[in-house]
């Protein structure tokens, strides 16, 4: 391929009407020509849009997770386990969308010096993986318990007498500020933990994939995932809980009651009136903590609420399961079949290896991939779902305080347009005004700013971020870039193509997610609340899916997502359900309309719009 | 139902390799393949016993014996005479009613199976000893009348001069009954070739499959660029699909058994010629054949336009793959002390982008 490049990151035009957008985000996230050295670096790198995590533009508060992983991922590569040829991943933001770039090390001497450090440090982790991982779970669950214990309330008119009698000597204003800092710090710590194993997990996984590709050139990624995929995967537990509750409802004869079209609160009130219902509600409580902390999205955005945030969602899913069971369908993961299939695939592949050296290589990489895989799959539940869901709830409490104090108009919507440091400033304003007994400036300051940011945000939404900016490198050595974002020759050339072609587009190219070809009517879903609209046999088109959507998978004929690689959850889940799936099409939800007749080919990654529905 | 050895006809699936004294080798082999799970074109055998019954009941057996006595010493000249005598007697004889009925009942079943009247069949000779190419096979025979005629021709072909002399050399007598196979002509909507490995690099975890419209000649002789698939042998998932141009196809000339080329309509060229299910079924059969013979195989197949899936997926011919089976296998990976060294080496190599 000729040395084709993408648009220079400094040349991306600003969207009219978004003047001053830079203030929504940290200053270091801007592409800037202030410093020639930094500008030259920016121009020489490949920057790709992180659509995997961010299908929508960024909210100023939600940037916390981007900054958190920018710090944590990079530091583990660069300073902790010392990945020899790779530094971290650098971040920028353009028109509300995050672009990232892997930073390599070119000097062989530097790489050479890093090797012994890597062997010692990474070696220690791989050798003590299970013990360290058990320890990790303890750390993370303790942190989550600490987070749960924090609650934000309005400052009191008068301090409680105990402040005096117990000689506490601190006031609620100070404690509010401190608690806010504490919660933010817990969030950052949570992300420190997140990457403790992940970099090494992906390194092992890349090695597994590439070694298998040497032995079996072109082996489908789906086959490799089946070889290592865990059976007792935490991410599937929430759905398993729903199935348990659906079966219990059927066994105790309260299924008809649960199928009534009531909101969850009314339904629970009805159930509480009868003994079987009370027993069922007790089981529900058991399942809710922690399993209903699963997010309805990826957990990355504040509006990805959890089942616990809106019980209507799991109730609808339980209804789907009850109906499926009644219709004699298999529900949930066919665990035994999966184990059988996994063992068969590995056994048959073993038999296909013809030399002892290759056999040894295969066993080495399979062993280490299987060691790391439970973490790679399960960490999502602990971090992005369980922790994040509770965290968003705590920030909503802060939003309520600010709404009550007149700083913002809507607790659910407005606080996310403030940066986390700005919230801290607002809390200072609120606390000092409370302490002094005067009117705070906040009510006259924030509403204007938030209104202007909302309008900028709406304009960001209309913009289509180009998939990449800058100059493609010869080689990528950064493990995340390869496994998670799947940045390869094919992907880059597809991106380069997409740069020029626009207009009526009936063919979309993504990555093969799950094998098979299927035709059907599309159902474009923006969020989990719309799952109820899904009709039998439709093809699900979504930005991304979450394991919390699992109950819908028995209904659909296939799935397409805008974001994600072969390792994303939509792909993994669909492979388990045997549904043809194409992931990472980039713009499926924009180009496809509900009702369009489409064909998806989960083997080639091609989606074709065969017939467009009339508007 | 009578013992196998008493029957006049037997369906392929009723027989196996050990039945060659009853139906002849070619027919018995087809039975064996079917038993193993290798699907071939549906059909039946007319037994060697039916041939015997035919020559007895028509008096041909007696007439030939007498004629041979008259001819005396065996020479090339007398053999030629005996051959002409036997062949004309057989071809002119009236098929005994019982045999005719039996054949036609089975032919009717074959027509019903394909939902077509007068379905074309092949009439293939099948001796109990191997006589490669000595006797006749007739293609595209259709209708009751022709079928009976060609069965007689096929029986008669056992008495052509070459066949008689070949047998004489092996010490086999003049009178020789053979089996006849009546398989449905594969009405190949699509045909192609399977190799039970990746032909490009010998990777045994893949199946290579090439397919194009019409008869197999188009693919075998490289007349067209076929659709080509690389399939994971273990999961039967497709690893790679390449759409071929497939401009022309080979078909039988209307009502004849010679082959002509015709153009493939544009819209058919642009589509894959096989369905995903057909690809998987073909690869499954490829695996069965490989497992049965214990080595990589080269397989010709047809997809029959008259039959429903999966009965339409038919194996035409199998032979051992000739290149990779013989190659010495070397390791594809570098030797590494432990997984850590392997991970390190992977990290240092990275993934090439350009």
Whether residues B171 and B38 fall in one domain: yes
Q: What is the DSSP string of B22-58?
A: HH-HHHHHHHHHHHHT-----EEEE-HHHHHHHHHHT
Q: Tokens in use for A272?
A: 């509480």
Of A344, A352, A516, the CB nearest to B204: A352
CB atoms within 10 A of CB A518: 19
Q: Are B33 and B288 in contact (CB under 8 A)?
A: no
CB spacing of A217 vs B333 below 8 angstroms: no
pLDDT grade, residue B109 (50/70/90)?
Answer: very high
Whether residues B72 and B194 fall in one domain: no
Q: What is the CATH number of the domain that holds B161?
A: 3.30.1490.20
Q: Which of B157, B183, B209 is the last residue of a domain?
A: B183
Sheet holding B9-11, edge to edge: B9-11, B43-46, B179-183, B121-126, B137-141
Strand A97-104 versus strand A46-49 pairing type: antiparallel
- Residue A591 within any structural domain of the chain: yes
Positions in chain A whose pLDDT score sits under 70: 1-3, 230-231, 479, 482-491, 493-504, 528, 547, 564-569, 615
Distance from CA of A409 to the nearest CA of B (A): 50
B157 vs A606 pLDDT, higher one:
B157
Distance between CA atoms of A417 and A397, rounded to whole angstroms? 15
CB proximity list for B222: less than 8 A, separation 6 or greater: none
Q: Which of A335, A357, A389 is the last residue of a domain?
A: A335
Domain count, chain B: 2
CB spacing of B354 vs A368 below 8 angstroms: no
- Residue B331 within any structural domain of the chain: no
Range of the domain at A535: 505-611
- Residue A190 within any structural domain of the chain: no
Q: Tokens in use for B38?
A: 């290798």
H helix intervals, B265-308:
266-269, 276-293
Q: Are B299 and B193 in contact (CB under 8 A)?
A: yes
Smallest CA-to-CA distance from A3 within A477, A466, A500, A471 is with A471
| Residue A219 Cα to chain centre, angstroms | 27
C-alpha torsion angle, residues B154, B159, B160, B161 (rounded to 10) = 170
Whether residues B174 and B273 fall in one domain: no
- Residue B334 within any structural domain of the chain: no
Which pLDDT score is estimated for A502? Answer: 46
Question: Based on C-alpha coordinates, what's the Rg of chain A?
Answer: 25
Q: Tokens in use for B251?
A: 């078909």
Q: What is the DSSP string of A530-549?
A: GGGGPPTTPEEEES---GGG
The conformation of residue A586, written as its DSSP 8-state character, comes to S
Q: Are A300 and A380 in contact (CB under 8 A)?
A: no
Q: Which residues of B touch A344 (CB under 8 A)?
A: 234
Distance from CA of B238 to the nearest CA of A (A): 6
Whether residues B251 and B265 fall in one domain: yes
Angle at A357 between CA A351 and CA A358, to 5 degrees: 45
- Residue A513 within any structural domain of the chain: yes
Q: Are B297 and B290 in contact (CB under 8 A)?
A: yes
Kindly state whether B353 is in contact with chain A, defined as any CB-CB distance less than 8 angstroms: yes
Per-residue pLDDT averaged across B9-38, rounded?
A: 93
Per-residue pLDDT averaged across B190-198, rounded?
A: 95
Secondary structure of residue B184 in the 3-state scheme:
strand
Whether residues B165 and B237 fall in one domain: no
The conformation of residue A4, written as its DSSP 8-state character, comes to -
Q: Tokens in use for A415?
A: 């606080």
CB proximity list for A517: less than 8 A, separation 6 or greater: A580, A599, A600, A601, A602, A603, B276
Range of the domain at B292: 188-320
Whether residues B101 and B164 fall in one domain: yes
Q: Which residues of A touch B279 (CB under 8 A)?
A: none
Domain count, chain A: 2
Which pLDDT score is estimated for A242? Answer: 93
Which pLDDT score is estimated for B174? Answer: 92
Distance between CA atoms of A93 and A95, rounded to whole angstroms? 7
Q: What is the DSSP string of A445-482?
A: HHHHHHHHHHHHHHHHHHS---SEEE---SEE--HHHH
Interface mutation vs chain A, best among B209, B342, B350, most A CBs within 10 Å: B350
Q: How many CA atoms lie within 13 A of A436 on its CB side?
A: 10
Distance between CA atoms of A418 and A428, rounded to whole angstroms? 14
Mean pLDDT of chain B: 92
Instruction: Identify the bridge partners of residue B188 per DSSP, sorted by sequence position.
Output: B304
Closest residue of B to A343, CA-based?
B234
Smallest CA-to-CA distance from B183 within B66, B341, B50, B30 is with B30
CB spacing of B239 vs A352 below 8 angstroms: no
Which pLDDT score is estimated for A494? Answer: 67
Q: Are B176 and B287 in contact (CB under 8 A)?
A: no
- Residue A386 within any structural domain of the chain: no
Whether residues B169 and B21 fall in one domain: yes
Whether residues B236 and B294 fall in one domain: yes
Whether residues B284 and B141 fall in one domain: no
Kindly state whether B237 is in contact with chain A, defined as any CB-CB distance less than 8 angstroms: yes
> Quick one: angle between helices A388-404 and A172-215, nearest 10?
150
Which pLDDT score is estimated for A501? Answer: 46
- Residue B9 within any structural domain of the chain: yes
Q: What is the CATH number of the domain that holds B193?
A: 3.30.470.20
Smallest CA-to-CA distance from B67 within B54, B84, B53, B51 is with B84
Q: Which residues of A touch B204 (CB under 8 A)?
A: 352, 354
- Residue A296 within any structural domain of the chain: yes
pLDDT in tens, A197-211: 998 998 898 899 889
How far the first Cα of chain A sits from its last, in Å, is 41
CA distances from A50 to A98, A440, B179 (A): 6, 39, 71
How far the first Cα of chain B sits from its last, in Å, is 71
Which pLDDT score is estimated for B354? Answer: 44
Smallest CA-to-CA distance from A417 within A391, A429, A399 is with A399
Interface mutation vs chain A, best among B200, B202, B339, B341, most A CBs within 10 Å: B339
Instruction: Identify the bridge partners of residue A609 per DSSP, sorted by sequence position.
Output: A598
Of B198, B235, B354, the CB nearest to A472: B354
Q: Tokens in use for A113?
A: 């010096």
Instruction: Identify the bridge partners of residue A99 per DSSP, sorted by sequence position.
Output: A49, A92
Secondary structure of residue B319 in the 3-state scheme:
strand
Smallest CA-to-CA distance from B183 within B63, B39, B84, B288 is with B39
Whether residues B77 and B177 fall in one domain: yes
Kindly state whether B140 is in contact with chain A, defined as any CB-CB distance less than 8 angstroms: no
Distance between CA atoms of A550 and A240, rounded to whole angstroms? 10
Distance between CA atoms of B265 and A593, rounded to whole angstroms? 32
The conformation of residue A166, written as its DSSP 8-state character, comes to T
Q: Which of B149, B183, B217 is the last residue of a domain?
A: B183
Q: Which of A335, A351, A368 is the last residue of a domain?
A: A335
Kindly state whether B97 is in contact with chain A, defined as any CB-CB distance less than 8 angstroms: no
Instruction: Identify the bridge partners of residue A201 per DSSP, sorted by sequence position.
Output: none
Distance between CA atoms of B126 and B182, rounded to whole angstroms? 10
> Quick one: angle between helices A569-577 and A221-228, nearest 10?
80
Q: Which of A335, A359, A386 is the last residue of a domain?
A: A335
- Residue B26 within any structural domain of the chain: yes
Q: Is the peptide bond before A213 cis (omega within 30 degrees of 0)?
A: no
Place of tokens 């450090």: A117
Q: What is the CATH number of the domain that holds A601?
A: 3.50.30.10
CB spacing of A126 vs B340 below 8 angstroms: yes
Which pLDDT score is estimated for B211? Answer: 96
CA distances from A483 to A467, A489, B154 (A): 17, 13, 64
Q: Which residues of B touch A342 (CB under 8 A)?
A: none
**What burial class does residue B129 get, using C-beta atoms within 10 Å of its C-beta: 0-12 exposed, 13-18 middle, 19+ buried?**
middle
Whether residues B139 and B196 fall in one domain: no
Q: Which of B154, B183, B212 is the last residue of a domain?
A: B183
Angle at A238 between CA A235 and CA A244, to 5 degrees: 135
Q: What is the DSSP string of B251-271?
A: EE-TTSSSEEEEEPPHHHHTS
Smallest CA-to-CA distance from A587 within A513, A517, A524, A500 is with A524
Interface mutation vs chain A, best among B197, B199, B234, B330, most A CBs within 10 Å: B234
Whether residues B113 and B234 fall in one domain: no
Q: Are A447 and A483 in contact (CB under 8 A)?
A: no
Q: What is the DSSP string of A421-435?
A: HHHHHHHHHHHHHHH
Distance between CA atoms of B224 and A531, rounded to whole angstroms? 48
CB spacing of B353 vs A123 below 8 angstroms: no
Q: Tokens in use for A387?
A: 């922790």
> Quick one: angle between helices B339-349 and A356-380, nearest 10?
80
Kindly state whether B327 is in contact with chain A, defined as any CB-CB distance less than 8 angstroms: no
Smallest CA-to-CA distance from B318 within B351, B282, B274 is with B282
Distance from CA of A169 to the nearest CA of B (A): 55
Distance from CA of B349 to the nearest CA of A (A): 7
CB spacing of A345 vs B329 below 8 angstroms: no
Range with lowest mean pLDDT among A130-139, A523-532, B107-116, B322-331: A523-532
């Amino acid at each position: 391929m000729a040395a084709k490049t993408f648009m220079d990151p400094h040349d991306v035009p600003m969207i009219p009407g978004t003047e001053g957008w830079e203030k929504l985000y940290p200053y270091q996230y801007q592409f800037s020509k202030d410093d020639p050295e930094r500008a030259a670096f920016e121009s020489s790198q490949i920057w790709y849009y992180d659509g995997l995590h961010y299908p929508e533009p960024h909210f100023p508060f939600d940037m916390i997770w981007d900054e958190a992983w920018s710090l944590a991922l990079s530091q583990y590569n660069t300073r902790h386990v010392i990945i020899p040829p790779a530094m971290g991943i650098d971040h920028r933001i353009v028109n509300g969308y995050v672009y990232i770039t892997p930073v390599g090390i070119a000097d062989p001497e530097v790489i050479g010096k890093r090797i012994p450090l890597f062997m010692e440090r990474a070696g220690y982790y791989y050798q003590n993986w299970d013990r360290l991982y058990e320890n990790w779970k303890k750390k993370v669950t303790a942190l989550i318990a600490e987070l749960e214990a924090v609650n934000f309330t309005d400052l009191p008119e008068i301090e409680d007498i105990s402040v005096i009698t117990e000689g506490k000597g601190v006031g609620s204003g100070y404690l509010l500020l401190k608690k806010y800092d504490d919660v933010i710090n817990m969030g950052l710590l949570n992300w420190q933990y997140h990457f403790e194993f992940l970099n090494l997990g992906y390194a092992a996984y890349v090695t597994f994939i590439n070694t298998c590709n040497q032995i079996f050139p072109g082996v489908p990624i789906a086959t490799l995932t089946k070889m290592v995929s865990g059976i007792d995967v935490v991410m599937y537990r929430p759905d398993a809980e729903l199935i348990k509750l659906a079966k219990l409802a059927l066994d105790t004869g309260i299924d008809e009651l649960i199928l009534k079209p009531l909101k969850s609160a009314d339904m629970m009130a009805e159930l509480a009136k009868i003994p079987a219902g009370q027993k069922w509600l007790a089981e529900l409580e058991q399942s809710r903590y922690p399993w209903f902390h699963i997010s309805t999205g990826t957990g990355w955005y504040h509006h990805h609420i959890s089942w616990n945030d809106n019980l209507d969602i799991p109730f609808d899913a339980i209804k789907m399961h009850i109906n499926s069971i009644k219709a004699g369908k298999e529900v949930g993961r066919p665990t035994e079949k999966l184990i059988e299939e996994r063992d068969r695939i590995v056994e048959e592949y073993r038999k296909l290896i013809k030399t002892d050296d290759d056999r040894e290589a295969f066993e080495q990489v399979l062993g280490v991939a299987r060691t790391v895989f439970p973490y790679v799959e399960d960490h999502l539940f602990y971090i992005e779902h369980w922790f994040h869901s509770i965290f968003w709830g705590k920030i909503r409490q802060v939003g309520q305080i600010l709404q009550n104090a007149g700083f913002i108009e809507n607790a659910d919507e407005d606080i996310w347009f403030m940066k986390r440091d700005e919230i801290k400033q607002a809390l200072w304003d609120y606390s000092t005004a409370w302490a002094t007994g005067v009117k705070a400036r906040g009510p006259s300051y924030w509403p204007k700013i938030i209104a202007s940011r909302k309008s900028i945000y709406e304009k960001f939404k209309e913009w289509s971020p180009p998939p990449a900016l800058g100059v493609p490198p010869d080689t990528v050595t950064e493990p995340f870039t390869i496994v998670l974002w799947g940045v390869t020759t094919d992907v880059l050339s597809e991106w380069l193509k997409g740069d020029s072609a626009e207009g009526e587009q009936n063919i979309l190219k993504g990555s093969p997610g799950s094998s098979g070809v299927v035709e059907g009517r599309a159902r474009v879903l923006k969020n989990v609340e719309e799952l109820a609209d899904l009709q039998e046999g439709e093809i699900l088109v979504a930005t991304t899916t979450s394991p919390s959507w699992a109950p819908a998978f028995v209904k659909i004929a296939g799935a397409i997502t805008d974001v994600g690689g072969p390792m994303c959850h939509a792909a993994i889940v669909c492979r388990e359900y045997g549904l043809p799936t194409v992931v990472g099409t980039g713009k499926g939800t924009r180009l496809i309309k509900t009702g369009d007749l489409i064909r998806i080919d989960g083997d080639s990654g091609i989606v074709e719009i065969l017939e467009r529905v009339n508007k | 139902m009578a013992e196998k050895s008493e029957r006049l006809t037997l369906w392929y699936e009723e027989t196996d390799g050990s039945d060659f004294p009853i139906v002849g080798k070619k027919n018995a082999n087809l039975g064996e393949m079917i038993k193993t799970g290798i699907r071939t074109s549906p059909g039946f055998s007319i037994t060697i016993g039916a041939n015997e019954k035919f020559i007895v009941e028509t008096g041909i057996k007696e007439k030939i014996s007498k004629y041979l006595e008259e001819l005396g010493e065996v020479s090339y000249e007398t053999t030629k005479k005996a051959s002409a005598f036997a062949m004309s007697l057989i071809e002119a004889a009236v098929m005994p009613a019982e045999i005719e009925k039996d054949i036609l009942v089975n032919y009717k079943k074959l027509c019903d199976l394909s939902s077509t009247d007068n379905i074309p069949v092949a009439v293939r000779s099948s001796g109990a000893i191997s006589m490669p190419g000595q006797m006749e096979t007739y293609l595209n025979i259709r209708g009751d009348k022709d079928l009976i005629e060609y069965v007689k021709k096929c029986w008669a072909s056992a008495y052509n001069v070459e066949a008689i002399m070949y047998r004489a050399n092996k010490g086999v007598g003049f009178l020789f009954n053979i089996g006849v196979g009546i398989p449905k002509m594969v009405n190949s909507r699509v045909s192609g070739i399977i190799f039970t490995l990746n032909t490009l690099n010998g990777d045994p975890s893949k199946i290579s499959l090439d397919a194009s419209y019409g008869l197999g000649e188009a693919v075998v002789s490289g007349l067209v660029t076929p659709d080509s698939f690389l399939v994971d042998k273990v999961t039967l998932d497709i690893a790679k699909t390449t759409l071929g141009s497939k401009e022309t196809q080979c078909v039988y000339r209307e009502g004849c058994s010679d082959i002509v080329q015709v153009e493939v309509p544009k819209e058919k060229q642009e589509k894959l010629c096989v369905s995903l299910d057909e690809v998987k079924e073909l690869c499954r059969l490829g695996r069965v054949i490989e497992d049965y013979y214990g080595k990589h195989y080269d397989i010709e197949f047809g997809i029959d336009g008259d039959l429903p899936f999966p009965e339409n997926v038919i194996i035409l011919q199998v032979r051992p793959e000739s290149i990779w089976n013989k190659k010495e296998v070397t390791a594809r990976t570098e030797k590494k002390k432990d997984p850590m060294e392997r991970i390190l080496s992977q990290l240092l190599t990275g993934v090439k982008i350009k």
